[in-house]
Amino acid sequence: MIPEVPSGPVHMTPDEFRAAGHATVDWIADFLAGVADRPIMPDVAPGDVRASLPPSPPQVGEPFDALLADVDSLIAPAVTQWQHPGFYGYFPANSSPPAVLGELVSAGLGVQGMLWSTSPACTELETHVLDWLAEACGLPERFRSDGPGGGVIQDSASSASLCAVLAARDRSGGSDVLPDLRVYTSSQAHSSIEKDVLVAGFGRHQLRVVPVDGDYAMDADALASMVAADVSEGLVPCLVVATVGTTSSGAVDPVARIAEVACSVGAWVHVDSAWAGSATVCPEHRDLLDGLDRVDSYAFNPHKWLLTNFDCSAFYVADAAPLAASLSIVPEYLRNPASDSGEVVDYRDWQVPLGRRFRALKLWFVMRSYGTDGLRAHIRAHVAAAATLADRVRANPRLEMAAPLSLGLVCLRHVDGDEASERLLADVNSTGEAFLTHTKLDDRFVLRVAVGGTWTTAVHVDRLADLFDDLA
């Protein structure tokens, strides 16, 4: 007796998929049209979302309209509205209609771009669009793909920094000399740097925290002294991580001077410009690139301020060879004629994971839909709105700037001290019109206003200034 062959699941027909797709896009369009009317922070308690869901998965498939209805009633009300024009709490997570559609096409194609051979378009479009981005932002020629280096899309700047740490570690001798290696970054660097160093096998004591100056930028003289002291003790400076646009205050480290110090001892220089890097699409902000012609790697996130939805971090290296030497592993099952020829790039050698999403599509959609003129207009509108907000803060006798204005980031505090600043933060957030977060600078409580959301305009920022006037 011939056993019965299972028939497999019932898939949507092309017409059913088309109808569901139209309904989904309609829902997203309606959501975005009304996002400003939604509360920024959801009114839910821990466990509420799970309590609204069935305890077990359905045994029989459900109609798509039921899924979309639950997204509308259960999911959307319980998300923090990052796309709300009053969301200033963290550096933005930009999204835009072209980026969403690019993500949709990527999902529809369903490719895995770990090798050139597993999807040539995935690899070659990424190479090309990263060159476009380098040109649009005025990056040094050393980061273009027609030399020994080039760009690649990582999921986040944290992953980009990890790749830099690994490449720097191994270029300095790797496991054979690991205990003697030292990494340097400022006290204002992103927390991911410390995590990346630990993931790469360093001890916490091997991360040297460099003091900052009065504007919270790395003190390059202090760096030079620390490097010299370590060298005198027989230690090996391996990596210096500079930040262009720190998370707490938007400070810009003196990259040119840092590179001078690092290069004198053969240390890798990585620049983390996750947030601020997008601003260099505007020529007037290219002072942020000073010294970049001497660094080994550079990263910034189009998903923060360049209208491209998460995740999309642009990571550039001046020379890809140390990166590939650190990260390339070639099991037999990945061997193929294209890779063996040496004529293609396999981006799996430029990252920690093996698998790769087709992220370049959404960035390509954004750059073609907006053009460099549109991207510049986006940045300029936010920088201008933040400058107006800073002026309103300075004009308010109950408020003061807590750090110099940095592009779209305004840091402020109440003149009456930390308790008053904390109260102001809570009062602003309780209105539901705006959402802010805080940091500490010089151990004082500081409110951060990160202007940069896709749908945030000068009108919304002016309204925030009005709230400060009313509540301070």
CATH at 3: 1.20.1340.10
Angle of helix 418-430 versus helix 458-471 axis, rounded to 10: 130
Rounded distance between C-alpha atoms, residue 260 and residue 257, angstroms:
5
Q: Is the pLDDT of residue 1 over 70?
A: no
**Percent of the chain predicted with pLDDT > 70:** 99
Out of 24, 53, 77, a domain closes at: 77
Confidence label for 465 from pLDDT (cuts 50, 70 and 90)? very high
Mean pLDDT of 322-351: 93
Q: Within a 13 Å sphere around the CA of 198, how many CA atoms are in the beta-carbon half?
A: 7
Mean pLDDT of 179-196: 95
CB within 8 Å of 335: residues ≥ 6 apart: none
Mean pLDDT of 212-238: 97
Nearest to 274 by CA among 239, 314, 309, 310: 314
Query: Per the domain annotation, does 89 fall within a domain?
Result: no
Confidence label for 9 from pLDDT (cuts 50, 70 and 90)? confident
| Same domain for 348 and 383 | no
Q: Tell me the per-residue pLDDT of 231-252, one tens digit each, with 9 for 90 and over.
A: 999 999 999 999 999 999 999 9
> What is the pLDDT, as a whole number, of residue 146?
94
- The pTM assigned to this predicted structure is 0.94
Q: Is the pLDDT of residue 3 over 90?
A: no
Query: Per the domain annotation, does 386 fall within a domain?
Result: yes
Q: Tell me the per-residue pLDDT of 109-131, one tens digit each, with 9 for 90 and over.
A: 999 999 989 999 999 999 999 99
Instruction: Output the CA–CA distances (angstroms, integers) from residue 133 to 138, 297, 371, in the order listed.
Output: 8, 15, 11
Query: Per the domain annotation, does 84 fall within a domain?
Result: no
Starting at the edge strand that comes first in sequence, how are the strands of the sheet with 268-272 ordered?
Answer: 150-154, 313-317, 297-300, 268-272, 236-243, 181-186, 207-210
Query: Per the domain annotation, does 19 fall within a domain?
Result: yes
Phi, psi of 306 (to 5 degrees): -130, 35
Domain count, the chain: 3
Angle made by CA atoms 439, 443, 447, in degrees to the nearest 5: 30
Mean pLDDT of 330-337: 92
- How many other CB atoms are there within 10 angstroms of residue 134's CB atom? 21
When the pLDDT of each residue in the chain is averaged and rounded to a whole number, the result is 95
| Same domain for 142 and 19 | no
> What is the pLDDT, as a whole number, of residue 6?
75
Instruction: Output the CA–CA distances (angstroms, integers) from residue 132 to 24, 101, 108, 303, 414, in the order listed.
Output: 31, 20, 24, 16, 44
Instruction: Output the CA–CA distances (angstroms, integers) from residue 36 to 41, 274, 314, in the order listed.
Output: 12, 26, 30
Q: Tell me the per-residue pLDDT of 371-399, one tens digit each, with 9 for 90 and over.
A: 999 999 999 999 999 999 999 999 999 99
The domain that holds 430 is classified in CATH as 3.90.1150.10
* Domain with 398 in it: 374-471
> What is the pLDDT, as a whole number, of residue 98?
96
| Same domain for 466 and 404 | yes
- In the structure encoding, which two tokens stand for residue 296, read together? 């080994």
